[in-house]
Amino acid sequence: MAGRRTAVLISGGGSNLQALIDACDSAQCAAEIALVVSNRADAFGLERARRHGIAAAVLDHRDFASREAFEAELDRTLRDARIELVCLAGFMRLLTPGFVEGWRDRLLNIHPSLLPAFPGLHTHARALEAGCRVHGCTVHLVRPTLDDGPILVQGVVPVLAGDDADRLAARVLEVEHRCYPLALDLLARGDLLIEGDRVTLPEEAEALVLHPLFTPG
């Protein structure tokens, strides 16, 4: 049986898109990646979609007179494709409250920090500057406030001596690729209770992913 029709919005290479595609193709996720939309025609993620026979669309935000006009066309594109769930995966556009509320509790984002710590940009450098011993990523339902919303899954990595932002980012990306399919699967199955800005997961849900460098004891 086909999973819930899901669109992934991208602006770049789409490595998290690939993780989602792989999980859905191997029946490890109760969703179907049915559409990929990019605001950049040169995004490599579009090629990833084409290689897997997934419909791909380009909506260049610069072609629209306003953010609202861009989002109106984006919304139409999603609804015309009968999309049920939407994943943001490196989509470098801030979405207006109107769009977010229109897809409330059906819109996922992945952020490269352990929210609520370090919302916004340059999360890896900020974690290093703060002297964090652990860092990671968060998959959450989107709310109008930037990088805010009910948390579904988090991934945790150690911060190692000698790390710079690039090395730390690469380690975080490893757990991102595990966390995002888990979160999409939970949402697609309906295996969660959403009450306002809180999410209750089933007891057996895998909601915390530890990097392989963590060892017991």
Residues annotated as catalytic are 111
Secondary structure of residue 101 in the 3-state scheme: helix
The number of beta carbons lying within 10 Å of the beta carbon of residue 75 is 16
**Tokens 């964090």, residue located:** 132
Cα dihedral 88, 60, 43, 127, rounded to 10, equals -50
**Tokens 């959403």, residue located:** 194
**In angstroms, rounded to a whole number, what is the distance separating the alpha carbons of residues 108 and 7?**
10
Strand partners, 200: 193
